[in-house]
Amino acid sequence: MNAPMSRRSFFRICATGLGTSSVVGLGFSPQLALAEVRTFKLAQTTETRGTCPYCSVSCGVIMYTTGDKSKNIKSRIMHVEGDPDHPVNRGTLCPKGAALLDMVHSPNRLQYPVVREPGGNEWKRITWDDALTRVATHMKIDRDANFVETNDKGVTVNRWNTTGFLISSAISNEPGYLAVKMARALGMVALDTQARV
Ligand code: SF4
């Protein structure tokens, strides 16, 4: 035999029934809401493949940018994840790489060339064209002044010892190969890459 219902249980059941029927009466069905499929957060984004810039492993990443490059859409990288097709990491990222989005949107991130003139104490923004011209000019002046064609024994060495070249780890094999070829062709001896660090 069932136990008699207490006064408290009676009121609780009545309130629950009243609440449910009111919600349904307003046109809201909990069953429908539960069955709703959440929108895939990467839908409507553009994929760009890249290389994690942090260390020598050089894991492949995919960056997802809002919008489809239409003119009225403001692009913003909103998600970064490991590239499952990349032979190095097969989609995995270490905690540093997994937090790449923070670096992308960091207010301290350098996004354009700046220069501090000799004797100056301020960094001044310059264009990429200016930056490349300045680098090329400095390289030429230094190379012309210090290039060594032969050593003490008269052996041809074609060395340029007074300028070094630091190559990025954020580039893939092909640009890395070209950068080394370019520096060696100029006679540069001191080469290093951040990927080694
Ligand atoms: S994800 Fe981690 S291991 Fe891979 S390159 Fe970036 S820092 Fe290195």
Q: Over the stretch 139-191, which tens digit does the pLDDT of each residue have? A: 999 999 999 999 999 999 999 999 999 888 777 778 888 999 999 999 999 99
Question: Kind and range of the H or E element at 16?
Answer: helix 7-25
Q: Which of 54, 89, 104 to mutate to test the pocket of ligand 1 (most atoms within 8 A of CB)?
A: 54
Percent of the chain with pLDDT over 70: 84
CATH code of 55's domain: 2.20.25.90
Ligand 1 centroid vs 175 CA: distance in angstroms? 19
Give the nearest ligand 1 atom to 88 CA: 4
Query: Residues 179, 160: one domain?
Result: yes
**Residue 3's pLDDT is what?**
58
**For range 19-30, the mean pLDDT:** 60
Pocket test for ligand 1, best of 56, 94, 168 (most atoms within 8 A of CB): 94
For residue 44, the CA-to-ligand 1 centroid distance in Å is 27
For residue 9, tell me if it sits in a domain.
no
Based on the domain organization, do 61 and 87 belong to the same domain?
Answer: yes
Ligand 1 centre and the CA of 111: distance in Å?
Answer: 21
Q: Considering only CA atoms, which of 96, 134, 97 is closest in space to residue 113?
A: 134
For the purposes of burial, counting CB atoms within 10 Å of the CB of 12, is it exposed (0-12), middle (13-18) or buried (19 or more)?
exposed
Question: How far is it between the farthest Cα atoms of the chain?
Answer: 114
Tell me if 24 is assigned to some domain.
no
Nearest CA residue ID for atom 4, ligand 1: 59
The pLDDT of residue 14 is above 60: no
Same domain, 120 and 98: no
Instruction: Return the higher-pLDDT residue of 175 and 22.
Output: 175
For residue 4, is pLDDT > 80?
Answer: no
Q: Cα separation of 47 and 126, whole Å?
A: 30
Encoded tokens for 187: 């006679």
Task: Write out residues with Cβ below 6 Å of ligand 1.
Answer: 52, 54-55, 57-59, 89, 93-94, 96-97
186 or 74, which is more confident:
186
pLDDT value of position 88:
92
**Per the domain annotation, does 146 fall within a domain?**
yes
Q: Are residues 127 and 147 in the same domain?
A: yes
Domain of 149 in residue numbering reads as 114-196
Give domain status of residue 33, yes or no.
no
Q: Which atom of ligand 1 is nearest to the CA of 169?
A: 5
pLDDT over threshold 90, residue 193: no
Mean pLDDT of the chain, nearest integer: 86
Average pLDDT over residues 3-30: 62
Question: Tokens for 65?
Answer: 């940018």
Which of the pair, 148 or 72, is modelled with greater confidence? 148
Mean pLDDT of 100-125: 94
Protein residue whose Cα sits closest to atom 8 of ligand 1? 55
What local confidence, expressed as pLDDT, does residue 173 receive? 78
Q: Is the domain of 156 the same as that of 82?
A: no
Residue-level pLDDT at 129 = 97
Q: What is the pLDDT of residue 19?
A: 53
Bridge partners of residue 166, in order along the sequence:
192
Same domain membership, residue 174 and residue 125: yes
91 and 63 share one domain: yes
What pLDDT, on the 0 to 100 scale, is given for residue 170?
73
Q: Residue 86: pLDDT above 90?
A: yes
Task: Please tell me whether residues 118 and 192 are part of one structural domain.
Answer: yes
- Rounded to the nearest angstrom, the distance between the alpha carbon of 58 and the centre of ligand 1 is 6
- Into how many domains does the chain fold? 2
**37-69 pLDDT, tens digit each:** 777 888 888 999 998 988 878 899 999 998 777
